[in-house]
Structure 1
């Protein structure tokens, strides 16, 4: 196996534990996050923003560093909380808002197994704060009126549609072909994609233990069986089989249990990460292997993906020496258009700005994990902090992981 393939496989392992590689690899993180586009629903959070203080642009001491100075000029579409980590009140920039975030939770089971699940905080428009929930999985629809939720005890045989204003589940969508452990709204908010498993993909088994540094820890077992595509309005759920694909050249990896599927940028196809080139495998809605869409030809591991207008791609880490930066590519040619001062590109706030992990001056060179959310302009000069710096290291349970939704 080539070195490049081994690196990509190792990065795939990091996806489940929120571990980040060193600055030379930081842009290759593999966690799947959504940038949802649905302009018809974008007014849903207008009332939410009205109860939040007007945002301010905070220039950084060093572009892209994440370090802050006193508030300067107002910027109406950015709501930053540079003193909060994890965030307590609404964070937003451009078209997107931080709708939820999660931290890791480990539950010990009899016999030596564990469950490496998630603890979620979901934005509550009534309180204007991120409130703790007991859901096992949360995904917020474009417009931030509704969330799809899964109960604990994954996999589960129904999906809840949670009204964010009331905090109540409006209705349940039953699933009759097996339980699911993840759910994601389509870019237009009209469908749900739920990945089905035979057992909880977050469970770690003592009889699949492996050595992690100097400790022997429980390992994962593959369990994906397929997926559902659900019409939100009618509740009709179409199931398709798509079992764990495995790797004929290597045994199953004990670090990777989840094989969640995601929507393509236009909602026409599904994809999953691959540790090998080209980095993503695509399927049609029946589960049949499909060609990579031309518009996503140069989309790789960074979560930002395509810009809203489809012209640019948020690329990988491109820093040299002590430089912290990532590249932005031309979506048609794959050529570098510019570099921006961000450690890891997470989402497009609009066609001209990205949300990324950034760092205080000199901090990432000493500790790459002390990163914070920032908004970065394509000119590389506009950098606005959105949150305080995260504490701990990549695999620590207390580190929070953001989820962005079109507001």
Structure 2
């Protein structure tokens, strides 16, 4: 396997874990090859200088919670907070809104172990702000009225359904058997997939320590046992055994204890991240391995994935030299349709626009991690800032990570 491919896949594994690459790793990767994906880029962004950047700071309307009204209030096409990082007020574009964001936090335990969990901020339609929560895991349903939450100590033995209008848990759904460490709504919001673990996937163990640069860190132990598919209305939870994939060529010792399962675009299959092409491994709801759906055959590591109309795929970093760009592919053929001035594609706002991490001329020249949320059209001639620039670098556990939901 080529060196650059190993670097890319190793970075992907670190991105999905609670470990971060040191800032120098990107430079070393670039010396191997200038063209690589978003988390490993360095250099200037002069090619983006011609992009029209329009800052949008729309006052947030007081949201209503009446039957049938949107949870985020009267809808405005773009709600940006270019002066806020991390964001305090609502960010939204097209069909999507920033429903939650989280930071990574490490709790040291006696004996040298640690918990490397997430601190979640959840959008509160009453205050119009992202409020701090004590939940260990949060996923917001389409429509942004309900969130599935897990209590602090993982794995959890029940799933809460949180009413975002009241801030109260309306109902608890017990899981009988293995506890769960993550939960995700299906695209239609009618089901949940909850990944089961035998111990906390965020726990790090002294007796599994590994070296990261000059530091010896407590490491993860893989413990996925299976998953539950939960009917939201009835609360019925069906368990399927599906241990982690023990591939001798896929050993990332110590870095990643999570192997959460996710819904595919139509809610017919599940997938998990995979360090080899095409970047995802698919399963049916009985736990059997499945081929990728035809429309998702060319979906890879980029978070944006398939466009709402199924025509396009948000692809990987495609910049050459100092250029900052990512490719957009034809979902049928996998061929490049265009490139857009984004560092990393995160979500489709609609069929014609993408939400991405972006870099400004003069900012990422000095620090590649100083990116911000932007809205990009497929022509690439218009970039609208949605947040302020993030601080720190890739090793900074306090950096905020966004989660987007259909509103």
Q: Normalising to structure 1: TM-score of the pair?
A: 0.88
CA apart distance, 1:382: 1.4
Aligned to 1:178: 178
Residues 362, 265 of structure 1: alpha-carbon distance in 2 compared, 3 angstrom cutoff:
same
CA apart distance, 1:70: 8.4
How far apart in 2 are the matches of 1:142 and 1:250?
A: 34
> What SS does the corresponding residue of 1:366 show, helix, strand or coil?
coil
How far apart in 1 are the matches of 2:19 and 2:85?
A: 16
Aligned to 1:327: 327
Alignment of 1:158-169 (within 5 A): 158-169=158-169
Aligned to 2:223: 223
> What SS does the corresponding residue of 1:17 show, helix, strand or coil?
coil
The answer to whether the Cα contact below 8 Å between 2:55 and 2:384 also exists between their aligned partners in 1 is: no
Aligned to 1:116: 116
Aligned to 1:293: 293
The answer to whether the Cα contact below 8 Å between 2:54 and 2:383 also exists between their aligned partners in 1 is: no
Q: Which has the higher contact order (CA 8 A, sep 6+)?
A: 1
Residues 70, 220 of structure 1: alpha-carbon distance in 2 compared, 3 angstrom cutoff:
closer
Aligned to 1:399: 399
Aligned to 1:17: 18
Alignment of 1:1-400 (within 5 A): 1-3=1-3, 4-5=5-6, 7-17=8-18, 19=20, 22=26, 24-27=35-38, 62=49, 76-249=76-249, 251=251, 253-400=253-400
> What SS does the corresponding residue of 2:17 show, helix, strand or coil?
helix
CA apart distance, 1:280: 1.0
The answer to whether the Cα contact below 8 Å between 2:282 and 2:291 also exists between their aligned partners in 1 is: yes
The answer to whether the Cα contact below 8 Å between 1:228 and 1:240 also exists between their aligned partners in 2 is: yes
**Alignment RMSD:** 2.1
How far apart in 2 are the matches of 1:215 and 1:253?
A: 15
Aligned length: 374
* Structure 1 unaligned regions, length at least 5: 30-60
The answer to whether the Cα contact below 8 Å between 1:64 and 1:376 also exists between their aligned partners in 2 is: no
How far apart in 1 are the matches of 2:295 and 2:208?
A: 40
> What SS does the corresponding residue of 2:216 show, helix, strand or coil?
strand
* CA deviation vs aligned residue, 1:374-402 (integer Å, no higher than 9, x gap): 00000101110000000011131210000
The answer to whether the Cα contact below 8 Å between 1:371 and 1:389 also exists between their aligned partners in 2 is: yes
The answer to whether the Cα contact below 8 Å between 1:64 and 1:324 also exists between their aligned partners in 2 is: no
Residues 386, 346 of structure 1: alpha-carbon distance in 2 compared, 3 angstrom cutoff:
same
CA apart distance, 1:71: 7.3
Q: Normalising to structure 2: TM-score of the pair?
A: 0.88
